[in-house]
Amino acid sequence: MRDIAVVASMQRQEKSIDNESEVEYMVPLMHGVKESIGITQADVGFTCSGSSDFIAGQAFSFVMTVDGANPVPPISESHVEMDGAWALYEAWVKMQTGEIDIALIYGYSKSSGGSLRDVLATQMEPFYVAPLWPDAFAIEALAARQLIESGKVSLEQLAEIASRSRDHAATNPNAVRTTAKSVADIMAEAPLMDPLRPSDIPASADGGCALILAAGDRAKDLCERPAWIRGIDHRTDAHTLGVRDLTTSMSARIAGEKAGVGNDKVDFAELYAPFTTSEFILTEALGLGEDTVINPSGGTLGAHTMMASGLIRIAEAAQRITNGDGDRAVATAGSGPNLQQNLVCVLEGE
């Protein structure tokens, strides 16, 4: 495989961005990330983005945003109706063909415009399940119930995940849920969707992320310490409720193996884990041990921007590598109910 690295990223996440449209708040990121390393769109060989029409409430919503990529003169460009992490994957694949050296990737959404819980219900199987409008939290609560009943995890352990995420988020200027809360206080929270409590669920945000990938020597030119992608893979589980064991994640396990997570010590992991339960499942599926710091940014419990959260995990992990905070990191992205789909990316400093 060709050596490809994350060389720069920019993100913005806020509880609700009311005064700017998606393209208006994305342009400073898309332009700014290029400016930060002294390149222009003319240096970019491929541009790829991730977003969702259902979240925007508009068909072809991504067409409104491509103007921010400076597509005059025309650019080589693509879009996935997935988290921006898969846009990064598509760009990484394109770079493996040797055709291009630099790629611009972005992902975004402004979910505050609609009820995300209702919107996500339209992802469900359309004949038996979606007509019941199952709330996205209710679907995850099924997994939480199975986990607890199976004895794999306790409510207290989940509260520990929530409490630690809040502490980490407090150090992250882009996080939106940053107030500290003790395990005891979280244990005392009234369940929102029993057994899930308010602290177990994601901290929804509006925002986005733009990121630059570069290959080989170009990466070294553009960044003192590039975050090299040493492995990247993604897999899906079955969708049908009832055919999966919701207490584990086959897709994350396979993607983790293919990406080579276990080949060496992992200093830290940025996991796309909207719920405390998802973090528990992912940590186990990826075989991450005590010596790995989980979600130093606070993760999606600190700020969760649909369609960008996965890309932001990669950006957060890469930034820490570039800063020299560690040598080897894992970042994941997810999609679908009960983390049906998972992408795993291994990043290294050398």
Residues 79-98 contacting other proteins, CB under 8 A: 79-82, 86, 89-90, 93-98
- Contacts with other proteins by CB under 8 A: the residue count is 84
Q: Quick one: 88 or 321, whose CB is closer to other proteins?
A: 88
* CB nearer to other proteins: pick between 64 and 192: 64
CB contact set of 163 (below 8 Å; sequence gap of 6+) = 180, 181, 182, 183, 186, 199
**Alpha-helix runs per DSSP H in 183-328:** 183-187, 216-222, 250-259, 276-285, 299-302, 309-323
Q: Which is it for the CA torsion 240, 52, 36, 177, positive or negative?
A: negative
User: Minimum CB separation from other proteins for residue 160, in Å?
Assistant: 30
Q: CA-CA distance, 105 to 84, in Å (whole number)?
A: 7
Cβ atoms of 102 and 218 within 8 Å: the answer is yes
Taking the complex as a whole, the smallest distance from the CB of residue 318 to other proteins amounts, in Å, to: 21
Contact track, other proteins, 239-268, x by CB under 8 A? xx---------xx--x--------------
Residues numbered 91 to 130 that lie near other proteins (CB under 8 A) are: 93-99, 110, 112-115, 118-120, 122-127, 130
CB-nearer residue toward other proteins: 64 or 187: 64
Binding residue for other proteins, selected from 5, 7, 8, 30, defined by CB under 8 A: 30
Residue of the chain from 15, 28, 43, 284 that contacts other proteins (CB under 8 A): 28
Which among 27-35, 140-148, 154-162, 314-322 is the span making contact with other proteins, rule CB under 8 A? 27-35
Cβ atoms of residues 256 and 231 within 8 Å:
no
The pattern of x and - marking residues 167 through 196 that bind other proteins according to CB under 8 A reads ------------------------------
- CB nearer other proteins, residue 91 or residue 162: 91
Q: 206 pairs with which residues across the strands?
A: 14
244 versus 313: smaller Cβ distance to other proteins? 244
Q: How many Cα atoms occupy the beta-carbon half-sphere of 116 within 13 Å?
A: 21
Exactly one of 171, 238, 264, 289 binds other proteins (CB under 8 A); that residue is: 238
Interface with other proteins by CB under 8 A: which range of 143-151, 185-193, 233-241, 322-330?
Answer: 233-241
Binding mask 38-77 for other proteins (x = CB under 8 A): ---x-----x----xxx--xxxx-xxx-xxxxxxxxxxxx
Cβ nearer to other proteins, comparing 29 with 153: 29
**Tokens matching residue 323:** 């800063």
Return the DSSP state at 191.
P
Residue closer to other proteins by CB (options 71, 324) is: 71
Nearest partner of 315 among 39, 138, 245, 323, judged by Cα: 323
Q: How far is the CB of 110 from other proteins (least distance, A)?
A: 7
In whole angstroms, give the CA distance from residue 85 to residue 271: 12
Handedness of CA 24, 26, 27, 29 (dihedral sign): positive
Please state the closest distance from residue 166 (CB atom) to other proteins, in A. Answer: 28
Span from 155-163, 231-239, 281-289, 296-304 in contact with other proteins (CB under 8 A):
231-239
**Number of neighbouring beta carbons within 10 Å of residue 78:** 12
Distance CA 37, CA 219 (A): 10
Residue pair 158/277 in contact by the 8 Å Cβ criterion:
yes
